[in-house]
Structure 1
Amino acid sequence: MIKGLYEAHLPVSNLQNSIEFYQKLGLKLAWRNEDTAFFWIEEGKSWLGLWEGKEYQTPYHPSLRHVAFRVTYQDLKESIKWLESIKVEPVPFGRRTSIEPFIRPNQGNASVYFNDPDGNSLELMCYVDVPNELKNITEKLSFEKWENLVNSKLK
């Protein structure tokens, strides 16, 4: 059924600043007009729409202002260095205090979070192959702890 993201939309306070930010992340501008810009996430498959204007700034729940970008496991391991290299600060997720990427064994995925210039929540996310005997772990694990756990189970 679902193969990836088709589109997501975020409100922005300054379209030009947001265009520069998303280009820094490596997204390609698909088109823009006076108050709207669309970026390809996967060219011809999925895109992100940015909408400038006070009518789009009405407060609402942060989960409605969130986009997750699919990356590889290896890319996620290097994500903090990459974000810092483009001067984007990672942020902790939820009640966590660490900015480091983490594994959710029970969900079969891993993430790191950051924000765009308007405080919209962004996430780099990948799938993780979880052995059946580890799928009941609900704790969020660091990559190091996860890899040590998986390696100990494979022995």
Structure 2
Amino acid sequence: MIKGLYEAHLPVSNLSNSIEFYKRLGLEIAYQSEKIAFFWIEKGRSWLGLWETDEVKTPYHPSLRHIAFQVDLEDIQKAKEWLEQKGIPVRTAFNFPPDKQPLVLPNNPHAHAAIYFHDPDGNSLELIAPLRLDFEEEFEMMTLEEWFN
């Protein structure tokens, strides 16, 4: 029945500024009106809705105002440089400063490499790549560089 996630939504304070930001990430506008814009993540398969609203002041929590975009492993390895070239700073996450990212999340029995940044309204964005799935092994969070060494 369920084939995937089609849409996710974030609040934004200035739709025009947010449109420019998400275009820098390489996303294509699928639909736009005065206070709403949808960007294709995978055309015809998934999109991100941005809603201009005062609700953007809702305090951040991982269950609110967070989107993770899946990328390939080779892309996560160059993600920090790619973001910096676009003028988008990497943020500290899980006490790992930008210079220690991407980091490896020990979501046992899975492991994922991830890097974190914010959009103009402080919504939490993540680029994430699976490293391994369904493999039971306990380990501590580490840098991706440590993972490969």
| Shared fold (TM-score, shorter chain, > 0.5) | yes
Give the equivalent residue in structure 2 for 1:136: 138
1:59 corresponds in structure 2 to 58
C-alpha distance after superposition, 1:69-123 (max 9, x if no partner)? 0000110010010001111000011333345101124332110000000000000
Partner amino acid, structure 1, of 2:39: F
Larger helix proportion, structure 1 or 2? 1
Q: Contact 2:56–2:121 at 8 Å: present in 1 too?
A: no
Which secondary structure state, in structure 2, belongs to the residue aligned with residue 88 of structure 1?
coil
Q: Is the 8 A contact 1:89 1:114 kept in 2?
A: yes
Instruction: Describe the SS at the equivalent of 1:128.
Output: strand
Q: Give the counterpart letter for 1:13 in structure 2.
A: S
Deviations 1:43-79 (A, max 9, x none): 101110000022x234244220000000001100100
Specify the SS of the correspondent of 2:132.
coil
- Is it true that 1:120 corresponds to 2:127 in the alignment? no
Is 1:108 equivalent to 2:107 in the alignment? no
Contact 1:30 1:37 in 2 (8 A): yes
Relative to structure 2, which stretch is displaced further, 35-44 or 106-115?
Answer: 106-115
Q: Which runs of 4+ in 1 moved over 4 A?
A: 1-4, 130-133
Query: CA distance change for structure 1 residues 2 and 108 in 2, over 3 Å: closer, same or farther?
Result: farther
1-structure distance, mates of 2:28, 2:58 = 28
What amino acid sits opposite 2:138 in the alignment?
N
Alignment correspondent of 1:87: 87
Q: TM-score when scaled to structure 2?
A: 0.88
Q: CA RMSD in A?
A: 1.9
Q: Which amino acid aligns with 1:6?
A: Y
Unmatched segments (≥5 aa) in structure 2: none
Q: TM-score, normalised by structure 1?
A: 0.85
- Give the drift of 1:17: 0.3
Unaligned runs of 5+ in 1: 149-155
Q: How many residues align?
A: 145
